[in-house]
Structure 1
Amino acid sequence: MSQKNAPHVGLVFASLMTTMLMSSLGQMIFSTALPTIVGELGGVEHMSWVISAFLATMTIAMPISGKIGDTVGRKWVYIISIGLFVVGSAIGGFADTMGLLILGRAIQGLGAGSMMINSQAIIAEVTTARERGKFMGLMGSVFGVSSVLGPVLGGWFTDGPGWRWALWMNIPLGLLAILVATLVLNLRTGKARWRDYDYLGTALLSVATATLVLVTTWGGTQYAWTSPLILILGAVSVLAGLAFVWVEMHSKDPLIRMGLFRHRNMLLTTLSGVVIGLAMVGVLAYLPTYLQMVHGLTPTTAGLMMIPMMLGLLGTSTAVGFIVARTGNYKVYPIIGLVLTTVSLVLLSTMTVETPLSVLGIYFFLFGFGLGMVMQILVLIVQNTFPLRVVGQATAANNFFRQIGSALGASLVGSLFIHNIQKEMQHNLPLAAERVGEEGQALVESFATGDGSSHLTPDAVAELPGPLLEAIVNSYNDGLTPIFLMLAPLTFAAALILLPIKRERLRETID
């Protein structure tokens, strides 16, 4: 970096931190608002799309925008990505249907994926190697903060000015970031080698990711798992994925270098990372909805209930990081962490309507404690495996597949949750109908046709007659808790996957 640009580093970094916070908050800020959004816009069967559409497009955008930034320079790629995020926020904020909200969230996701990748890359262009560590450490802390802040902020907006402000707040922040980036960013510009760009790989990656999310979102809810559409989408996803691997192995300038996965540590940490992303987002995305509908918490209180989980995650991650730095031993921590995560998922599957919130807080803390021993250590293993010249590519590839897991977690868990709720209501509501009067019978009929359940909010549930309240609360409880038990074998398998990890001495030099 030249002396000319040195005074602007603080301003540039503030802009990058703002956009990193916007993109990371976007992943979880609606977890607490989902019941209210469904009640206002209708369409409970589309509930999971509010989160999974964002994660799917974010996943697709990450490798593509990173590659384009490498090719033509990052300044305008970064500015355009902020613009996309602002446009998506505006569309979603003014949406009057669930479909329009999902469209806005999908556009947001494209911007968020590009902002996240390019923010990290821009730091490498505006700081020296000696300075870079502290800046990257601060940027990494954004993810921990947003994990706590997302559900809490989403709950506060929902209880206060309204959930739409969770989108509208991005508009002035984004415009300010665009202004700062336009005026003070002075980055290298590459030579556009569009002739060699991996167009086919980009198309195949997009098709494989989109169809995979469609299968896990629609399967079992809007379409049977054995329906022709789901089977065709599944086949297209598999074939596009296999074709993508083949294309990347033969491309002059691939989006993701397949040669990285020839190394045992890279392959094993990536496989484990997919499971971690799936479990983490699958739990975080729908627990706030569970707490509101089953335990009658306000959106803000439901968000605050996530704090024990995040304290466990942040505290353990920090402590284990210091221990590994001092001892150089790292292999055992992610394995122990995934075993603890498995135990916590089993405990979460035992939750009932009567389970005290204090007990739930302990379960949440244990889940975060386990994840805190895993996430950063897997990144460390990847970065310690490769020389400096390919660390960026390896880290981006590892993050991409973990993001695939996150998108699957949002869509698959959401799809199963909706399917289970509908199944439980079909069983519980007729029994409740026998215990209520004519008014209750009319409510039961509205739920049976879908008119009532599509606009069900925590406040509306609280005002229902006792038998109906009990039926719906039990339907939500029994709809989610079995899914946690289904996730437990996956996290235990992820622990077993890490057993063959080759322990290598941590490097004490830059390269």
Structure 2
Amino acid sequence: MQQTPVPAGSDALAPAIPAIPAPATPGTKTSQRPRMQLASHPEMGHWRLSLFGLTLGLVTGIDFSSTLMMGVASQHIQGGVGAAPEDYLYAISAYAATAVLMNMVLDQLARRITYKRFTMVSLLVFIAGSLICAEFASPAGLITGKAVQGLGAGGLFAASRILVQLVSTPAERAPLMLRFGGGSFSMLAITPWLTSIFLDDIGWRAVFLFQAGIALPVLLLVALTYPTRAPRDPHPPVSTLDWPAAIAAALGALVFLHTLQEMRYTRFFSSLEMPLAALCGVALFAFSGWRLYRHPDPWIDFSRLAGRQYLYGLGFYTLYYLLSSGWSFLLPTLTQTGLGLTFRTTCMLLSTSGTVSAIGAILITLGMALVFRKRRVIAIGFVVYACAAMLLSAQLMPGAPDYALVPVVLLEGLTPVLLMVQVASMTYLEVPVEDFSHAYQFKNVCKQIASAMGTGLASVFMQDGLAQHRTHLAEHITRFNPALQMPDALSAAGLAKLSQEVDRQATLLAGMDLLHGFAALCVAGAVFVLVQRSFR
């Protein structure tokens, strides 16, 4: 796409500058609400622009929902393909690694073939990866399919967000972002619910067949609504792509992220293998950075991303994705394993949270000009996240009904609006327009790493808590326990039932401990937001 001149320091979520209406002449009627329009694409009418903004959000939601469902439906997928935990981790790591690669080369590819063609090709690759996962019921098929999915979906979020910046001025951006937020969060709202319905009828393949099926109409919308007038950019911002640096970064992401994911099952310092693997991943990242530093025209120039505002925003982004990935691991684990809720019930809770996020994103975008002192809003978001964690911990008791968790997901659904949207509205204020694309690419690289780290850390602490509480509970089970005085209590079935109950109680207790630590981290984040003065 051709880049429209935009003042430096502008941000997509900043309050839109209202256009001054022309004075009315006698015999003419003035419109109360100005129609959507883009100076760079005057051929696009109001309804096409509305669908364009919605499609940008739906494209972003493809990546979000794919990652979400891999966590929620992990037990069904593992059982369906016969994957060991290590194989499943390789599938998740393969997706993250190829997603990191695509985020690094996104601007190079999209500027050469236009963002519309890049998005369409990416969706086709994502559909192919989804079909591979569904067709080949084997660990190798799952790993291959997820790697292909990552190549397709890994750059969709950044591509959509960068395209908004390229085609619009700050005054034109608010209506696009309104539809962008509604589309992306709506995808998160409907995907878990529809997947749970299809999974009951089709089985684990429904997770991937639904992803392929929902990407097809999104692909059609891209073909119909994306602007087509702009020619291919004859002068891409970077002259050459340093493939050794790109490949080293992708391999480093694969090794490092898989090491983080493997922390679910293995202590980091239990052997030399995991620390050495992590060091190998860091070394590959360092080699990639060294190549970029020496390159005369690097595709990510870190020296141009050293602004304090951007770095603070990147830190808050990383903290948010760290927390949200940990929450995405905890909620399904505690509801299904701890409370014994069904997969469909868990998906309904997730859809409720997504619905709250979608409504909140629309409302906050409409009222963005009224939101002042955004640091306080971010601090409130951390406090709300802490309240959701504490409320969930209070509901972790045997026999807790599913409706008791509704207030929890309602609170959690507010956090993307109070945290991520507000951070996004402040992070790029000092980033020049010509640097926005690779600034957003680098942010998404950090997102992938933070998400893997959050899942790994949550799993490690859960494993430790499970071991401690299981041991403590087992120590209090003696032959004088009333449960063992029942007929057939010492039979194989009775002992198996007792063991399951011990595991369930240990899961609930470990979850409570972890949620308390989660809440403490959120409170610490809120305090840090309020006391620092660099992120305004």
TM-score by length of 1: 0.79
Match of 2:505 in 1: 474
Match of 1:376 in 2: 421
Match of 1:198 in 2: 242
Does the CA-based 8 Å contact 2:390-2:516 persist in structure 1?
yes
Matches for 1:52-201 after TM superposition, within 5 Å: 53-122=94-163, 132-174=173-215, 185=228, 187-191=230-234, 196-201=240-245
> What residue ranges of structure 1 are gaps of 5+ in the alignment?
445-464, 505-511
Corresponding position: 1:402 with 2:455: no
Corresponding position: 1:221 with 2:221: no
CA distance in 1: counterparts of 2:473 and 2:90, whole angstroms: 26
Deviation at 1:337, TM superposition (A): 1.7
Deviation at 1:57, TM superposition (A): 3.1
1:145 partner SS:
helix
Match of 1:502 in 2: 534
Does the CA-based 8 Å contact 2:98-2:154 persist in structure 1?
yes
Deviation at 1:283, TM superposition (A): 0.9
| Greater CA drift, 284-293 or 268-277 | 284-293
Match of 2:7 in 1: none
1:26 partner SS:
helix
- Shift of the 220–121 alpha-carbon distance from structure 1 to 2, 3 Å rule, reads closer
CA distance in 1: counterparts of 2:360 and 2:309, whole angstroms: 23
Corresponding position: 1:276 with 2:307: no
Does the CA-based 8 Å contact 1:349-1:484 persist in structure 2?
yes
Does the CA-based 8 Å contact 1:48-1:415 persist in structure 2?
no
CA distance in 2: counterparts of 1:33 and 1:97, whole angstroms: 16
Deviation at 1:181, TM superposition (A): 5.9
CA distance in 2: counterparts of 1:115 and 1:371, whole angstroms: 19
Does the CA-based 8 Å contact 1:338-1:374 persist in structure 2?
yes
Does the CA-based 8 Å contact 1:62-1:400 persist in structure 2?
yes
1:108 partner SS:
helix
1:225 partner SS:
coil
Larger radius of gyration: 2
Corresponding position: 1:28 with 2:59: no
CA distance in 2: counterparts of 1:413 and 1:213, whole angstroms: 14
Does the CA-based 8 Å contact 1:274-1:402 persist in structure 2?
yes
CA distance in 1: counterparts of 2:305 and 2:522, whole angstroms: 21
Residues 385-443 of structure 1 deviation map (CA, whole Å, 9 limit, x = unaligned):
334443444344334323432232234434654676578778878999985555438x9
Amino acid at match of 2:189: V
> What residue ranges of structure 2 are gaps of 5+ in the alignment?
1-39
Does the CA-based 8 Å contact 1:275-1:402 persist in structure 2?
no
Identity fraction in percent = 19
Does the CA-based 8 Å contact 2:58-2:183 persist in structure 1?
no
2:204 partner SS:
coil
CA distance in 1: counterparts of 2:309 and 2:166, whole angstroms: 29
Matches for 1:105-504 after TM superposition, within 5 Å: 105-122=146-163, 132-174=173-215, 185=228, 187-191=230-234, 196-219=240-263, 221-222=265-266, 225-307=269-351, 309-310=353-354, 313-314=357-358, 317=361, 321=365, 324-326=368-370, 328-349=372-393, 351-354=395-398, 355-414=400-459, 417=462, 436-440=489-493, 465=497, 467-478=498-509, 480-498=511-529, 499-502=531-534
Residues 329-376 of structure 1 deviation map (CA, whole Å, 9 limit, x = unaligned):
322111232233234334444553334544433333333334431111
- Shift of the 151–485 alpha-carbon distance from structure 1 to 2, 3 Å rule, reads farther
CA distance in 2: counterparts of 1:37 and 1:299, whole angstroms: 12
- Shift of the 313–123 alpha-carbon distance from structure 1 to 2, 3 Å rule, reads closer
2:154 partner SS:
helix
- Shift of the 362–179 alpha-carbon distance from structure 1 to 2, 3 Å rule, reads closer
Match of 1:460 in 2: none
TM-score by length of 2: 0.76
Match of 1:454 in 2: none
